[in-house]
Structure 1
Amino acid sequence: MLNQIHALHTIGISACSLDYSCSKAQTFQYDRDSDESGDDADDCDSQILITAPISDIVEGKYSLIYAHPEALLSYAQGERLLKQLQKSEMLVCIAIDEVHIILEWGAEFRKDFSRIGENLLSRFPDIPVMVFTATAPPKAQQLIIKNLNLRNPQIISINPERPNIKYSNIMRPPSSQTEEHLEEILIPIMEGLATEKQNYPLTIMYTDTSVISFCYTYLEKNLGNRQNIGDPIPENRIFAQYHQTYTEKMKFFIVQEICKPNSRIRFVMCTVTLGMGLNALHVRRIIHYKPPTMIERYFQETGRAGRDGEPSYATLYYNNTDIRSNRPGIDKAIVKYCKNTSSCKRAVMLECFGFQPIQGNQNCCDFCDSNHGQKPPSA
């Protein structure tokens, strides 16, 4: 959210985000000290993150307010804010982004997602509601409509295909050999980072925290004094880790950096925490070491690649343990996608969303490469 608010502020749109407990808001302001110093820093670098009081929202100082459902539905401060917004009649629209999360998280993980319709939208029955997602199959769309109690909504649906992304699956060894296999993957990445520096293709690797810890430690130890661009400080390191326990300040720095066309960070190891809302245009490779439990999440995370339209790659490493039937939350569609060796991977994935791939794509998947006698690219 902070990344989006930062971008809005840059173009003159006032926006803020609420913290989880609805006790304060965060926004950006221009750093006067930077401006007065005469530095050549651009607008992005001369903005600083500040804390703002909730009263600023009540007084209408922001055009857009970003919030987690917990902030508005689980805390007394959120309840008071909603009542004040009802009384002032300032609210003109409610927008819910990545709305498929209601189905993924609302039942057990973050239950306030399932309460948005009954406890938030119902307060503002005459306010327009917009919901957005790129990963909701037709059945999921109907469940979302029912969950939010939407009345005769207009559905705008387009093919979510990303024709510039090439998909590949690679069977990885048993989990007992994970560290040895990770070393095999990391060696060419490490050498590429050391020699190409900022010219190395920006790569995001989605995995779990244990793999992140191993990879980060391995790169830090083996790259040594080659791990920085410029002075040996954390901000100049060419690789980064991103997960829930990182501070908001550090997470914001990483997102802000990889959104730059000349990012110093070239390899990010992360959990799903980095997936939604990221609009880093120049990501060239997405690696999944272990598949997510749902095909919708895999499609969404691979969609971080090639947002500038340039050719990009998505590689999935999996083994039988990763797609076992008793893995919590595992969906049949992702199992089918992993096991598929007899048809186009893009077609299998898009079928889940009710669409077919564009014909004649020369940058499709490893199956189509082998079917046409071409050699698929390495990860």
Structure 2
Amino acid sequence: MLLDHPHDPVPEAGYGLSGPGLERVRAARETLKRVFHYDDFRGQQARVIAAILNGEDVLAILPTGGGKSLCYQIPSLMRPGFGLVISPLIALMADQVQALIKKGVRAERLDSSLSMDARYQLWDRARDGEIDLLYLSPEALTQGFVLDKLSRLPVNLIAIDEAHCVSQWGHDFRPEYRALGKLKALFGNVPTLALTATADPHTRADIKKALHIENAAEVIDSFDRPNLSLRLMRRAGSAQKVILDMLRRQKNASGIIYAGSRDGAEKLARQLSAEGFKADAYHAGLPAKVRDERLHDFLSDRTKIMVATIAFGMGINKPDVRFVIHADPPSSLEAYWQEVGRAGRDTKPAFGVCLFSSTDLGWSLRRLSMRETETGADLSVQKQKALDFFRFVHSPDCRRKGVRRYFGEAPGENCGTCDNCLSRAPVVDATEAAQMLMSALYRFNSPRGRKKLIEHVLGQNAQDYGSRLSTFGCAKGHYKAEFLTDVLDLCEAEGLIVEELYDGKMPIVALERERFAALIRGELHLELRT
């Protein structure tokens, strides 16, 4: 793994290259200065570019705002032919093409907005060597005639942006991205560059397999974002009230609020607007024209707060986002880091807040199970990622250390700015309390509601038939109900219990007996910050 701070320029001696590789980077740096007017590369840019210029396939994991686009733009300008860039967003393609044209780069895009005559002219220019970069969507490559045209043109590089969309284990899987693997068969000797900001080891392996670049070099920058302060909060009552309290302290700052549904995004945007905030909603259910208008308003600061579903954010280039709030928790730690990473891209202080409740994990797992039933797909990896995220939620450890550890990076030092680092609450052993709760559930020999289970171990409601069990009142005088609520949530994240719906509406929890046996044997050690 190759690590550098993503925002620091890297002196030539720090490239870690020699011989022809260093000479290629020196030539690339001249292109960087001449075309883009930067003095030097940042982070891992030089390593990625050197590998591409050497003809290698590369999987690059670079942070949001880490300059991913230069990694394919510069090699495309230095090699005969043109670079083929696959990007998921038409609006993003249009912005990048316009920016490149202003710098004198011969960039084009192929999308549904082009007339037939314009398409013919584009293909002629590509054939005659009059294009440096060609942007198109993954959907365009599903058309056989497009692949046929490209196969006869001098493509010098294939760059796949937002490559996590390739992986069915990624947090934003798109089936049309999966088909990009056919490009390697057409352009076997052309280097492929797959780029994303977040991918754990499992997702990285799947990306390389799907794109047929199994031997690709992996260039991975640090996942750390030192300017981000992270906080995860249990949602007590209305999320709207909590969010309003936070926004009133932000003094007209620009931010993004993620909601778990389209209706939720619309409702919260209306509520914030009624309170005087310049807020709007964004989701995939809106017409494309409305989405483009709202995106433009947000980027130009006419809208200060975007309340959105996961449809918003990919490729959004707004450096001064000061906060990202999750009104509902995301599906995985990858999704969380991708979304919260849209704050503070200008390297100035920014913060992320994620709200959660006891029912969120159960709902997420049930939704995945319903998708399995409907599609026949195996979503066990997605379920594990949901569990991993909620372990992160309940962990007493430094948040940024937890992120680094999850992505396979050395955890390093505590950040000193997250909720756990700033908390004065002690970290306590929750193993005994978990054993009491799970033992009671075992003796009931059937699922129970969370509240009923906690009341049982506290010795409340003596009229209940469970009062005859030996576990009745076992926690009385030792633990309070609030602490036991947190312990149950942690037990769910650790796979000790699974939430079900009784009569289709009331959440109850069922015991996972294999994990329970490990807990009783002392193989699981649980901690909480009280």
Residues 147-175 of structure 1 show CA distances to partners (whole Å, capped at 9, x for unaligned) of: 211152122112121111011001114xx
Aligned residues: percent identity? 28
Which segments of 5 or more consecutive residues in structure 1 lack a partner in the other structure? 27-50, 228-237, 374-379
For 1:205, the equivalent position in structure 2 comes to: 257
TM-score normalised by structure 1 residue count: 0.74
Write the letter of the residue equivalent to 1:326. R
For 2:329, the equivalent position in structure 1 comes to: 291
Cα–Cα, structure 1 residues 259 and 166, in superposed 2: closer, same or farther, change >3 Å?
A: same
Give the 5 Å matches for 1:106-185.
110-117=174-181, 119-173=182-236, 180-185=238-243
User: Does structure 1 conserve the Cα–Cα contact (< 8 Å) formed by 2:171 and 2:331?
Assistant: no
CA distance in 1, matches of 2:397, 2:407: 17
Write the letter of the residue equivalent to 1:339. H
Cα–Cα, structure 1 residues 222 and 107, in superposed 2: closer, same or farther, change >3 Å?
A: closer
Which of 197, 208, 220 is equivalent to 2:273?
220
Residues 166-200 of structure 1 show CA distances to partners (whole Å, capped at 9, x for unaligned) of: 11001114xxx5xx4314423663x568xx5xxx1
Residues 101-128 of structure 1 show CA distances to partners (whole Å, capped at 9, x for unaligned) of: 11147999632222211x2221111211
2:160 aligned with 1:96, yes or no? Answer: yes
Q: State the 1:335 CA deviation.
A: 1.7
Residues 232-256 of structure 1 show CA distances to partners (whole Å, capped at 9, x for unaligned) of: xxxxxx2222111334344334444
| 3-state SS, counterpart of residue 82 of structure 1 | helix
Write the letter of the residue equivalent to 1:369. L
Which of 409, 416, 439 is equivalent to 1:355?
409
Write the letter of the residue equivalent to 1:4. Q
Q: State the 1:355 CA deviation.
A: 1.0
Write the letter of the residue equivalent to 1:335. F
| 3-state SS, counterpart of residue 93 of structure 1 | strand
For 1:282, the equivalent position in structure 2 comes to: 320
For 2:144, the equivalent position in structure 1 comes to: 79
User: Does structure 1 conserve the Cα–Cα contact (< 8 Å) formed by 2:398 and 2:414?
Assistant: no
| 3-state SS, counterpart of residue 421 of structure 2 | helix
Write the letter of the residue equivalent to 1:347. K
For 2:392, the equivalent position in structure 1 comes to: 337
Q: Kindly indicate whether structure 1 or structure 2 has the higher relative contact order, using CA contacts under 8 Å at least 6 residues apart.
A: 1
Larger radius of gyration: 2
For 1:314, the equivalent position in structure 2 comes to: 352
Give the number of equivalent residue pairs: 312
User: Does structure 2 conserve the Cα–Cα contact (< 8 Å) formed by 1:204 and 1:270?
Assistant: yes
| 3-state SS, counterpart of residue 317 of structure 1 | strand
**Cα RMSD, aligned residues only:** 2.9
CA distance in 1, matches of 2:119, 2:258: 35
CA distance in 1, matches of 2:348, 2:105: 29
CA distance in 1, matches of 2:264, 2:100: 35
User: Does structure 2 conserve the Cα–Cα contact (< 8 Å) formed by 1:205 and 1:270?
Assistant: yes
Write the letter of the residue equivalent to 2:227. N
For 1:302, the equivalent position in structure 2 comes to: 340
Residues 178-233 of structure 1 show CA distances to partners (whole Å, capped at 9, x for unaligned) of: xx4314423663x568xx5xxx111100112121111122233343xxx6xxxxxx
